[in-house]
Each structure stands twice: as C-alpha cells, then as structure tokens.
Amino acid sequence: MSDLRPRFDSSTADALERARGRDIALFPATEFEGIWRNGGIGTYYRELNRVLRGKGWFTILFNLHAGENVPAEAAEGLGLDHIFNIAGFDSFLRLDPVREQMLQSGKAAFCKLKGLKCLFLIDALAEMFPAQRIYAEFQEMGGPGYHSAKAKEAGLLPREVVVAVTVHSGYEWIYDANGALAS
C-alpha cells in the first residue's frame, strides 16, 4: 500500500476482510434518524440494500449525520454488513498529510468536509479491494457525492468504482406535484 493513499486502521481492516471477493455497495446518508423507516431515501436505501445483499454484495452505510453515532453492532439489525460514522472518521481511516490538509481547509464548509470524507472512504475501499466492484450511491441533497463524482470523472478513481447520484430530496415531490397540477 502506498503511504499516499487513505488506508483503514488495523481493526477496521480486519472487520472489512469479510468483504473480500464480494461486490461492495456504499450508502452515504446525510441523516440517519429514521433512515430505515418508510419514506424518501430511507425506503430507497433499505430496498436497494435488500436487493444487493440478496445478490451477495457487502453493504456499508456511511452515516454522515455528525450528531448521531450509530453503533457498529446495529449493522446486522439493519440488514447491513458494516456502518461507518462520520463522527469517528479519524478513528477508522488514516490519511496522508495532503489529504489531512484538504480536510483542515474544508472545516469551514461542512458540506465540503462530508464530500471529501466520502471520497477518501471510497479511495480506501478501492485501495484495500483493488479488483472488486465498488458502487457508491449518493443522494443529491447537500452534495456529499460531488468530490467523488468529480474524482471519477477525472480518472482518479479506478474503473471498478461506480459513483451514482440520484434525486431524493423534496425536489422530486415538487416535480410530481407540478406534473399532477398540469394534467
């Protein structure tokens, strides 16, 4: 492993070994409260997770809600393989000085900070599992997928990494409502 790539601490790397040889799906969620309840992104992620796990994928929730830590033990109860919390980012991911500086400069803009941490997590997964497919599904609200999408577009993430951004915010309700009114 290169010292210039993000890498997991040893206990996290050991926990992720269960993903070896499996496709990996990462679901970064900007709010966790009620994520598995009905409605919006919760329903979507729950169903996508169910389908992918049924096909043998290793699924990970990246909880981007800084005020709410979801215990790792909750993963299985939620039907996931692993949970990361943005609040514990420094405890599970080791960064090189350049990426550390990027985070320090991003502290003023919390949205930028979340986006960079998502990118670094994807990069660490790609480093640990270089031949495996990694799928990251972002909601557009708050833009946590911006840096990952731009890195993929620029060729900085490997071919095996797929970055998707879908609309899950209130905007889709506005479009539906406007469409119903126009009919």
For residues 52-74, average pLDDT: 85
SS3 152: helix
Element housing 132 (H / E): none
Residue 181: what residue type? L
Is pLDDT of 47 > 90? no
Q: pLDDT-derived band of residue 2, with 50, 70 and 90 as boundaries?
A: low
Q: Please write the tens of the pLDDT for every residue from 124-159.
A: 999 999 999 999 998 877 788 999 999 999 999 999
Q: What is the pTM of this model?
A: 0.85
Q: What is the pLDDT of residues 163-178, one digit of tens each?
A: 998 876 655 555 555 5
Pair type for strands 82-85 and 161-166? unpaired
